[in-house]
Amino acid sequence: MSDKNSKSKKLKENLFYNIKDVALESKKKNEEKIEKFSINYKDFLNKAKTEREAVKIAIEKAKQYGFEEFDPNKKYSAFDKVYYNNRDKAVILAVIGEESLESGTLISAAHIDSPRLDLKAHPLYESNSIAYFKTHYYGGIKKYQWPVMPLSLHGVVVKKDGEVVDINIGEDDNDEKFCISDLLPHLANEQMQKPLGKAIKGEDLNVLVGNIPYDYESGEDLVKLNVMKILNDKYAIKEDDFISAELSFVPAYKASDIGFDRSMIGSYGHDDRVCAYCALEAIFNCKKPKKTVITVLADKEEVGSDGNTGLNSNYMMYFISDLAKSEGLDVNHVLSRSMCLSADVNAAFDPGFASEFDPNNSSYMGLGTVITKYTGHGGKYSTSDASAELMAKFRNIMDSNDVVWQTGELGKTDSGGGGTVAKYIANLNIDVVDLGVPVMSMHSPFEIISKFDLYMTYKAIKSFFMS
Ligand code: MN
Ligand code: MN
């Protein structure tokens, strides 16, 4: 009996897929590196809560690593480092490879926008002596998750003469915060009967911003006036300046370790700053690549990638075209020979909601970076399905570099679905596959990831760049 068992055990080890032990071994071995990487990542999360803030930090850091602003008329040579700033909301970084662009480029594309509450053009109003800002939510949110938590306000107001006023209120412990109210349970008999999707509506996401009237007088709109006066004193703006502003409310709290073992990180905006951070660190630490490597940090993914800072526009192609021209090459040929890791998060299997996942085809927190062959929805619509040949290539890159990785679909077939920038890049005839970090409570104001998966995603992108 025992002999027979050990024979089957051996055969199982040889033929079955199992990464649990590999992941545990790697966690133990890399414990210190994982922790160090996580500390720096949390710092990035706390400072980069919008795409504009992420671009600013990326460029500041890039300059420290010797990156220079891209000049399309300049001829670059091997290992030169450049960045291209697209309207302060998206950025491309590149390290010129040893080989000619004729052999294609290696691209890693992540997005730096996250779901949040944007201000409308006429945001400020007063109702029953309370001043509010009206919002229009950005990206896929569950609206009931946003009331009753501290919010901070981030963004820019651009005055008619072009002067840009940066706004960041609520991140410092001593700063004022903002919030949306909810109905007390004592009076919520009717509200509690509503389905989750209807209990809080889009037009209910109004943020409290003041309660004292100007000069303690009584009269119409004096609380509103007082708020406007405070803003005017501090930023020299008037009500119509909101028309040319991009202001967003995001959760005011900081990223923190989760669990007694501190194995996880909870934060706003892991999707997709976690992959953006990995793609940045990968290009900063990529020494003398053979092929030209490119990190793209894109905007507008959460709303379908449309607009000139999203990857459904041509700015990445224009950038590669400029590089190609300087070598006298046709951009089409460079693109057709390029490969891309679309670095974006996937849904981690959640035991609390197990029925929405296929346990055999989901990614799990703590089992490494997840390679996703296709995203999309019901019947593989609206996605780039990576070819078997490409999947094999990536398996090989990952395994040759001790990257612990898993594979996973976004939930059960027909449970819903989602997309990434992969399809837009694939439309340029580039070979693309999705890779990223499994996330729990994705798109909520407090998403959760595993520190191990974070580190493995960095290792994966770096290994790809050096391949
Ligand atoms: Mn994403
Ligand atoms: Mn998302």
Distance of CA 270 from the midpoint of ligand 1 (Å): 9
CA of 110, nearest ligand number: 1
The secondary structure of 177-189 as a DSSP string is -BB-----GGG-T
Q: Inform me whether the pLDDT recorded for 91 exceeds 90.
A: yes
Q: Helix (H, G, I), strand (E, B), or coil: what is residue 53? A: helix
pTM above 0.95, yes or no: yes
SS3 state of residue 111: strand
- On whether the CB atoms of residues 112 and 297 are closer than 8 A, the answer is yes
* Centroid of ligand 1 to alpha carbon of 359 (angstroms): 22
State the distance from the centre of ligand 2 to the C-alpha of 441, rounded, in angstroms. Answer: 11
Q: Scan for tokens 């992969």, then name that residue.
A: 422
Q: What is the pLDDT of residues 237-294, one digit of tens each?
A: 999 999 999 999 999 999 999 999 999 999 999 999 999 999 999 999 999 999 999 9
> What separation in Å is there between the alpha carbon of 376 and the centre of ligand 1?
13
User: Which ligand lies nearest to the CA atom of residue 114 in the structure?
Assistant: 2
Cα of 443 vs centre of ligand 2, distance in Å, is 6
Distance, in Å, from the CA atom of 281 to the CA atom of 457, rounded to the nearest integer, reads 11
CA of 232 to the centre of ligand 1 (A): 36
Distance in Å, CA 442 to ligand 2 centroid:
7
CA 213–ligand 1 middle distance (angstroms) = 42
CA–centroid distance, 325 to ligand 1, in Å, is 32
What residues pack around ion ligand 1 (CB closer than 5 A)? 271-272, 344
d(CA 186, CA 244): 41
Mean pLDDT of the chain: 97
What's the pLDDT at 18? 85
CA nearest neighbour of 293 among 108, 455, 73, 44 = 108
pLDDT reported for residue 2: 55
Q: How far is the CA of 282 from the centre of ligand 2 (A)?
A: 21
| 37 CA from centroid of ligand 2 (Å) | 23
pLDDT, one tens digit per residue, over 33-74 is 999 999 999 999 999 999 999 999 999 999 999 999 999 999
pLDDT at residue 154 in the model: 98
C-alpha dihedral (278, 279, 281, 285), degrees to nearest 10? 130
Query: How far is the centre of ligand 1, averaged over its atoms, from the C-alpha of 204 (Å)?
Result: 26
Over the stretch 438-447, which tens digit does the pLDDT of each residue have? 999 999 999 9
